[in-house]
Amino acid sequence: MAHLRRQVVSRRNIVRGSVGDAAGGLVLGGGARRSGAAVAAAVASTGTIAGGFLVNGRHLSFGDDPRTQMWVGGQLFNLNTYNAVPPRSVKVWLDYGTDPSYGHTVEAEIRELLTHVPVWDGKPGVLRASRTLNADQFFVHARVSGLTPGTEYHYRFRYAAGRERGATTDATFMTAPDSDYTEPFTFTAFADEGIPGPSLDRDPSLLPESVWGMWNNGSFEPDDPDNPIHTKTNTTNSVIKQIGRVRNLTNGTPARFNLQAGDLCYAQAKGDIQFIINPDGPNGSQPADGNTPMPPENSSGWGYFDPWIWTSWFPMIEPSAARIPWMFATGNHEAELFSAQVAAGAQTVDAYGPLGYGGLVKRVNLPQTGPSGCPSVYSFTYANVGIISLDANELCWEFQGLTGYSNGAQVSWLEDRLSAWRRDPRIDFIIAFFHECAFSTCNGHSSDGGVRSKLAPLFSRYQVDLVIQGHNHVYERTNPLIYDAATNSARSGKQAVAVSPEEPAEVEPAKDGTTYVVAGTAGTPRYSWSGANETDRNFAAGPGSGTTVVGDAVTKTGPYVRELDFTRTYETVDWSQARYDDYGFVALDVTPAPKGTRTTMVLRFITEQGRELDRVIFSRIAGEVLPG
Reported as a single tens digit per residue, the pLDDT across 41-98 is 555 567 788 888 899 999 999 999 999 999 999 999 887 776 788 888 899 999 999 9
Reported as a single tens digit per residue, the pLDDT across 609-620 is 899 999 999 999
- The CATH label, of 3.60.21.10, 3.30.70.2860, 3.30.70.890, 3.40.190.10, for the domain at 2-621 is 3.60.21.10
User: For the residues 310-330, what does the mean pLDDT come to?
Assistant: 94
CA dihedral 435, 440, 442, 447 (to 10 degrees): 70
Residue pair 310/24 in contact (Cβ under 8 Å)? The answer is no
Map out the domains of the chain as residue ranges: 2-621
Reported as a single tens digit per residue, the pLDDT across 487-505 is 999 999 999 999 999 999 9
Q: Which residues pair with 129 in a beta bridge?
A: 120
Please report, as a single letter, which amino acid is at residue 442.
C
Helical segments of 462-592, H only: 509-512
User: Integer distance in angstroms from the first to the last C-alpha of the chain?
Assistant: 61
Nearest-angstrom CA–CA distance, 452 and 470: 14
Write down the pLDDT at residue 6: 58
Residue pair 410/371 in contact (Cβ under 8 Å)? The answer is yes
Binning pLDDT at 50, 70 and 90, where does residue 340 land? very low
Give the percent of the chain with pLDDT over 70.
Answer: 79
Residue pair 606/612 in contact (Cβ under 8 Å)? The answer is yes
Reported as a single tens digit per residue, the pLDDT across 364-401 is 999 999 999 999 999 999 999 999 999 999 999 999 88
Q: CA distances (Å), 124 to each of 83, 85, 119, 277, 289, in order?
A: 31, 36, 14, 14, 8
Please report, as a single letter, which amino acid is at residue 100.
P
Q: Which residues pair with 429 in a beta bridge?
A: 385
Reported as a single tens digit per residue, the pLDDT across 436-449 is 999 999 999 999 99
Give the percent of the chain with pLDDT over 90.
Answer: 60
Write down the pLDDT at residue 211: 40
Pairing of strands 255-260, 326-328: parallel
User: For the residues 143-164, what does the mean pLDDT come to?
Assistant: 96
User: For the residues 212-232, what does the mean pLDDT come to?
Assistant: 65
Binning pLDDT at 50, 70 and 90, where does residue 408 land? very high
Residue pair 202/17 in contact (Cβ under 8 Å)? The answer is yes
DSSP 65-77: STTT-EEEEEEEE
Instruction: Identify the DSSP state of 525.
Output: P
Reported as a single tens digit per residue, the pLDDT across 537-587 is 888 755 544 578 999 999 999 999 999 999 999 999 999 999 999 899 999
Binning pLDDT at 50, 70 and 90, where does residue 432 land? very high
